[in-house]
Structure 1
Amino acid sequence: MDFTPTEAQLDLARLTGEVCAKLVTADRLRELDTADERFDETLWHSLAETGVLAAALPEAVGGSDLGVLEQTAVLRELGKYVAAVPYLWSIALGAGALARFGDAAQQDRATQAGAGRIILTAALAEEHNWEPTKPITTAIETDNGWRLTGAKTTVPFANRADRILVPATVFGAVAVFLVDPSVVTVTAQQVVDRTPEYAVDLADTPAELVGTVERGAEILDWVLTRAWLGLSAAQLGTIERALELVAEYTREREQFGKAVGSFQAVAQRLADAYIDVQGLRLAVTQAAWLLSEDLPSAEAVHTAKFWAADAGHRVAHTVVHVHGGVGIDRDHIVHNYFTAAKHHEFALGGGTDHLRALGALLAAPA
Structure 2
Amino acid sequence: MDFTLDDTRVTLREVAADVFRDAPEAAWSTLVTPDMDVLSAMVVLTEAGRAATPLSGLALGVLPLARHGIEVPDGSRVTAALHEPSDPMTSRPRTTARGGVINGVKIGVPDAVGAYRILVPVTTDEGAAVALVDPASPGVTPNPAPTSTGNPEFSLHLVDVPYERTFDGLADLHRLALAGACATADGALAAVLELTRKHVATREQFGRPLATFQAVAQQIADVYISARTLHLATWSACWRLAEGLDAESDVDIAAHWVAEELLPAIRTCHHLHGGLGLDVTYPLHRYYSLAKDLVRSIGGARHRLEALCTSN
TM bracket (short chain):
over 0.9
Compute the displacement of 1:131 (Å): 5.2
Compute the displacement of 1:19 (Å): 1.3
Aligned residue number for residue 269 of structure 1: 219
Three-state SS of the structure 2 residue aligned to 1:181 is coil
Matched, 1:92 2:62: no
Choose from 289, 293, 296 the match for 1:346: 296
Aligned residue number for residue 262 of structure 2: 312
Compute the displacement of 1:129 (Å): 1.1
Three-state SS of the structure 1 residue aligned to 2:144 is strand
Letter in 1 for 2:53: A
Choose from 78, 88, 98 the match for 1:140: 98
Letter in 2 for 1:170: T
Aligned residue number for residue 150 of structure 1: 104
1:1-366 to 2 correspondences below 5 Å:
1-23=1-23, 42-44=25-27, 47-49=28-30, 52-54=31-33, 57-58=34-35, 67-84=37-54, 86=55, 88-89=56-57, 91-101=58-68, 107=71, 109=72, 112=73, 115-116=74-75, 118-130=76-88, 132-141=90-99, 146-171=100-125, 173-182=127-136, 183=138, 184-211=140-167, 216=168, 219-362=169-312
Letter in 1 for 2:110: P
**Partner Cα separation in structure 1 for residue 264 and residue 40 of structure 2:** 27
- State the Cα deviation string for residues 275-324 of structure 1 (Å, max 9, x = none): 00000011011101111111111000000111112221122101111111
Compute the displacement of 1:132 (Å): 1.5
Q: Which runs of 5+ in 2 are unaligned?
A: none
Aligned residue number for residue 38 of structure 1: none
**Partner Cα separation in structure 1 for residue 230 and residue 101 of structure 2:** 41
Relative to the length of structure 2, the TM-score reads: 0.94
Compute the displacement of 1:172 (Å): 6.2
**Partner Cα separation in structure 1 for residue 47 and residue 89 of structure 2:** 30
**Partner Cα separation in structure 1 for residue 32 and residue 226 of structure 2:** 30
Q: Is the 8 A contact 1:98 1:210 kept in 2?
A: no
**Partner Cα separation in structure 1 for residue 90 and residue 126 of structure 2:** 14
**Partner Cα separation in structure 2 for residue 244 and residue 361 of structure 1:** 34
**Partner Cα separation in structure 2 for residue 221 and residue 8 of structure 1:** 29
Letter in 2 for 1:8: T
Q: Is the 8 A contact 1:153 1:199 kept in 2?
A: yes
Compute the displacement of 1:135 (Å): 1.2
Q: Is the 8 A contact 1:175 1:209 kept in 2?
A: no
- State the Cα deviation string for residues 210-236 of structure 1 (Å, max 9, x = none): 33xxxx2xx111111000000000000
Letter in 1 for 2:301: G
Q: Is the 8 A contact 1:316 1:342 kept in 2?
A: no
Compute the displacement of 1:79 (Å): 0.4
Provide the alpha-carbon RMSD of the alignment.
1.7
Aligned residue number for residue 37 of structure 1: none
**Partner Cα separation in structure 2 for residue 193 and residue 340 of structure 1:** 6
Three-state SS of the structure 1 residue aligned to 2:162 is strand
**Partner Cα separation in structure 2 for residue 77 and residue 329 of structure 1:** 23
Letter in 2 for 1:12: L
Q: Is the 8 A contact 1:124 1:348 kept in 2?
A: no
Three-state SS of the structure 1 residue aligned to 2:163 is strand
Q: Is the 8 A contact 1:101 1:210 kept in 2?
A: no
**Partner Cα separation in structure 2 for residue 296 and residue 100 of structure 1:** 15
Aligned length: 310
**Partner Cα separation in structure 1 for residue 77 and residue 3 of structure 2:** 32
**Partner Cα separation in structure 1 for residue 96 and residue 85 of structure 2:** 14
Q: Which runs of 5+ in 1 are unaligned?
A: 25-41, 59-65
Q: Is the 8 A contact 1:129 1:136 kept in 2?
A: no
Runs of 4+ aligned structure 1 residues displaced above 3 Å come to none
**Partner Cα separation in structure 1 for residue 207 and residue 26 of structure 2:** 42
